[in-house]
Amino acid sequence: MDKFFIRGGNRLVGTIRVSGAKNSALPCMAAAILTEDEVTLENIPQVWDIATERRLLTSMGAEVELGHGSADHRTAISCRSLSDPVAKYEIVKTMRASSLVLGPLLARAGMARVAMPGGCAIGGRPIDLHIKGLEKMGATILQEHGYLEARAEKLRGAHLVFDKITVTGTEDLLMAAVLAEGETVMENCAREPEVTDLAALLCAMGARIEGAGSAVIKVHGVASLHGAHYRINPDRIEAGTFLIAGAITAGDLVVADCNPEHLAAVITVLQNAGALIDIIAPDAVRVRASGQLTAGDISTEEYPGFPTDMQAQYMALATQAEGVSLIKENIFENRFMHVQELVRMGANIKVDGRTAAVRGPSKLSAAAVMCSDLRASASLVLAALVADGESILDRVYHMDRGYERFEEKLQGVGAQIQRMGNVFASNEVEGTAG
């Protein structure tokens, strides 16, 4: 298993580029199920979750071609034949977003068999709202042997009101609605840019959608969709992580190839912490910090609020800020696994229910720490960048799920970070043999 070795203390200076959004790429790849034609997507990040989605689509009979060389972020997907509309447990268990194929499979093939996702490190993550919406559109869904068996000869437009805002739930039902008969009105929808990205692709494929990006989305079902060529938006969570990397290291970083509009909540929080932020181009943000940061409270919310996917990274920053920062996690019930690892590095953090109180600044000291999920890993990298000495991060495969060439990008702006593959595993094997 790969590890990161990170020596703290360097200011990050220079330009760092953001990849395409993983959370847009996943539903957009699933959208290819809706047509027999080829869908070509540009700016697809090369991360594990994308490789998993590719595996999922090919296991159903799709052809997924990845670009090479200068086109290595292009993916062409052809779902002409969907011989096996099943999302197998072996794949779903490694990536919960696999449940995104439920809506499009039902719409296209009239049936779907999708393994029920279990819990995950950050909480229960049910998909009851996906199921409820599809049933309202006329699907019959049975649960058996850990699988959902869904059938619908023809989905019908419906009036859907989400009890709770769900990102992939909105995306899943949107993909079902575009081929349903008649009009679907969806209320209390997620307004995340990833939903807007998916809707833009679906419109390019011939769908009729109004209101994506707002709480109410209207869809006029069409008989069929055609192929399209579409470029995925930049990853706002990767961009936000880099902004924090610049601020926490008292650096001077240009975060390029991003969409500053999608970063508004994160930018405001960083400005309140004392970082200087300039939007220097329509796709670039510069962050500078002096080394004196101020504590500030955050509360995670659905977009356009402060993203839950940035909570762990902000906590690393809060350990370096003067005063007490209260961090409230409203979206997931168990998203504080990074806390104990940060405490092992010398942070002063107390958790009470869904709120963590971080008292700073703490002098962090390097330690061997364990990554527990994607964003928790990013938080530990950020902490290690300012810790005294060399930290070793284990289980960086969590990071590889969603950050593309993270260590290379950070090296390019002056971080001392190295990836080592299997060093300890091979030592252990040798040790055993000896």
Return the residue matching tokens 């002056």.
414
Reported for 340-347, long-range contacts at CB under 8 A and 24+ positions apart, including other chains, are: 341/369, 341/370, 341/372, 341/376, 341/380, 342/315, 342/316, 342/379, 342/380, 342/383, 344/369, 345/369, 345/383, 345/384, 345/387, 345/391, 346/387, 347/319, 347/383
Exactly one of 110, 126, 206, 412 binds ligand UD1 (CB under 6 A); that residue is 126
Is 127 among the residues that bind ligand UD1 (CB under 6 A)?
A: yes
Minimum distance between the CB of residue 96 and ligand UD1, rounded to whole angstroms?
A: 6
Is 25 among the residues that bind ligand UD1 (CB under 6 A)?
A: no
Residue type, 383: A
Is 168 among the residues that bind ligand UD1 (CB under 6 A)?
A: yes
Is 47 among the residues that bind ligand UD1 (CB under 6 A)?
A: no
Mention every residue, 6+ apart, whose C-beta is less than 8 A from residue 267: 243, 260, 277, 285
Is 124 among the residues that bind ligand UD1 (CB under 6 A)?
A: yes
Note the Cα 96 to chain centre separation in Å: 11
Question: Of 137 and 289, which has the nearer Cβ to ligand UD1?
Answer: 137
Is 391 among the residues that bind ligand UD1 (CB under 6 A)?
A: no
Exactly one of 63, 65, 90, 128 binds ligand UD1 (CB under 6 A); that residue is 128
Question: What are the DSSP calls for 24-85, one per residue?
Answer: HHHHHHHHGGG-SSEEEEES----HHHHHHHHHHHHTT-EEEE--GGGTT-EEEE-S--S--
Which of 331, 285, 291 has its CA nearest to residue 311? 331
Minimum distance between the CB of residue 97 and ligand UD1, rounded to whole angstroms?
A: 4
Minimum distance between the CB of residue 109 and ligand UD1, rounded to whole angstroms?
A: 22
What Cα–Cα distance (Å) separates residue 410 from each residue in 14, 15, 45?
10, 10, 17
Q: What is the distance between the alpha carbons of residues 368 and 96, in angstroms, rounded to a whole number?
A: 28
Which of 327, 313, 399, 374 has its CA nearest to residue 121? 374
Question: Of 30 and 253, which has the nearer Cβ to ligand UD1?
Answer: 30
* Residue tagged active-site, from 120, 189, 203, 258: 120
Exactly one of 166, 311, 313, 391 binds ligand UD1 (CB under 6 A); that residue is 166
Task: Look up residue 290 and give its two tokens.
Answer: 């002096």
Build a one-symbol-per-residue string for 303-342: x at contacts with ligand UD1 by CB under 6 A, - elsewhere. -----xx---------------------xx----------
Mention every residue, 6+ apart, whose C-beta is less than 8 A from residue 353: none
How many residues lie near ligand UD1 (CB under 6 A)? Answer: 21
Minimum distance between the CB of residue 149 and ligand UD1, rounded to whole angstroms?
A: 18
Build a one-symbol-per-residue string for 220-259: x at contacts with ligand UD1 by CB under 6 A, - elsewhere. ----------------------------------------
Pair 138, 113: CB distance under 8 Å: no
Question: Of 166 and 362, which has the nearer Cβ to ligand UD1?
Answer: 166
User: What three-state secondary structure class fits 235?
Assistant: coil
Exactly one of 12, 115, 167, 212 binds ligand UD1 (CB under 6 A); that residue is 167
- In the annotation, is 28 catalytic? no
Exactly one of 16, 18, 26, 410 binds ligand UD1 (CB under 6 A); that residue is 26
Q: Which residues bind ligand UD1 (CB under 6 A)?
A: 23, 26, 97, 123-130, 164, 166-169, 194, 308-309, 331-332
- Active-site residue set: 120
